[in-house]
A = this chain, B = another copy of it.
């Protein structure tokens, strides 16, 4: 299949695409939480359950359950009734996410999307951007500037 038609390409790639989406969904929450924890520590000196709940718009019970999972998976450390910290693994992930987020927001603005919408859409879009596309975004936004 040296030069597949668009239709064949689409068919061929289909199930891989859906699998990629399912994988992204599994890391999405972890990414959002570590990034938010890093932001909160940077902005306010500490990250508390109540801050995360308010930032995500969910209840503190939900935050608690998620934190337990992130702890188990080695992204977060926490002592009972105390504020949250990132492990080195969590910090690394947070940095990558922050950078990716900024690239996506900057790119959307550079093609004329409003700042508000850029923020809103970036939050959903960023988890589904491959390295190749991210590179294209960064290159375009840079050229545009």
A20–B21 alpha-carbon span in the complex (Å): 17
User: Chain A contact residues (Cβ within 8 angstroms of B): what range?
Assistant: 35 or more
Main secondary structure of the interface of A (DSSP, over half): helix
A121 to chain B, nearest CB (A): 5
Given the interface pairs A10-B119, A124-B21, A128-B125, the reply to whether A15 lies near B57 with Cβ below 8 Å is yes
A93 to chain B, nearest CB (A): 18
* Contact segment of A74-82, A84-92, A108-116: A108-116
Given the interface pairs A15-B56, A55-B14, A136-B113, the reply to whether A130 lies near B120 with Cβ below 8 Å is yes
Q: Measuring CB to CB, which residues of chain A are less than 8 angstroms from any residue of chain B?
A: 6, 9-10, 13-21, 24-25, 32, 54-57, 108, 111-125, 127-130, 132-133, 136-137, 139-140
